[in-house]
Amino acid sequence: MTSPIIFVDNIHKSYLMGKEAVPALRGVSLEIERGDFVCLMGPSGSGKTTLLNIIGGLDEPSRGHITIEGENLVSLSENKLATLRLQKMGFVFQNYNLLANFTARENVEAPMVLAKVSRKERMQRSMALLERVGLGDRAHHYPGELSGGQQQRVAIARALANNPPILIGDEMTGDLDSESGFAIMRLVADLNAEGMTVVFVTHDPRMAEFAKRLIHMQDGKILNGEIERLGD
């Protein structure tokens, strides 16, 4: 039996609001298998984004453990954690987070620069990824010259730059019209069909239907301990 690619063990997270500790997660445990397609849903304040950020190594739990491909994130130094994020995860955010003064191709190349990929390989890989997301003819355009849907496609290409096994998505379609949102989710579904593990947050039940597993959260917990498996 293979180990889960993501293992969340009794995670608690609290934030200080003045002098008061406000709990965001209350003992969340979760296993995500390699190649799974998981959607986290819940009302504002349910803890879904906090859990996603902890899975992505962008935040740390107050207590509990999380492992990614057997690596305990809690025990890693900041440098090792940054390396793990660079190698193991691609991130796609609601507001794209593209560098305004970089072209589409340069934005896709940015994670490869950090990973010390050669210039020749960066150019080849970035163009191949832009072709993959349907933007080969927009490689030299700046974010301000692209539509929201096109910018999110660039963000997905950038997330794939170092060929990570995990894609983390935070409201990937939140700023897009319905047509663009569905196009983005079809692209993500194709990546999942090729073996990529996907974990994402959305408030839109139409986008959640692309997932294989739907995890409902409320008040910092997985609701009733239930995880809904879709498409069975």
pTM above 0.85, yes or no: yes
Give the whole-angstrom CA distance, residue 85 versus residue 152. Answer: 20
Residue 188 CA to residue 199 CA, distance in Å, equals 10
Domain ranges of the chain: 34-60+77-229
∠ CA 62-93-112 to the nearest 5 degrees? 95
Q: What is the pLDDT of residue 100?
A: 96
Segment holding 159, helix H or strand E: helix 148-159
Per-residue pLDDT reduced to its tens digit, 90-145 = 999 989 999 999 999 999 999 999 999 999 999 999 999 999 999 999 999 999 99
Helices (H), 3-147: 48-55, 78-88, 104-114, 119-132
Q: Which CATH number fits domain 34-60+77-229: 3.30.450.20, 3.40.50.620, 2.60.260.20, 3.40.50.300?
A: 3.40.50.300
Q: Evaluate if residue 64 carries a pLDDT over 50.
A: yes
Phi, psi angles (nearest 5°) of residue 204: -100, 110
> Residue written as tokens 């983005």?
184
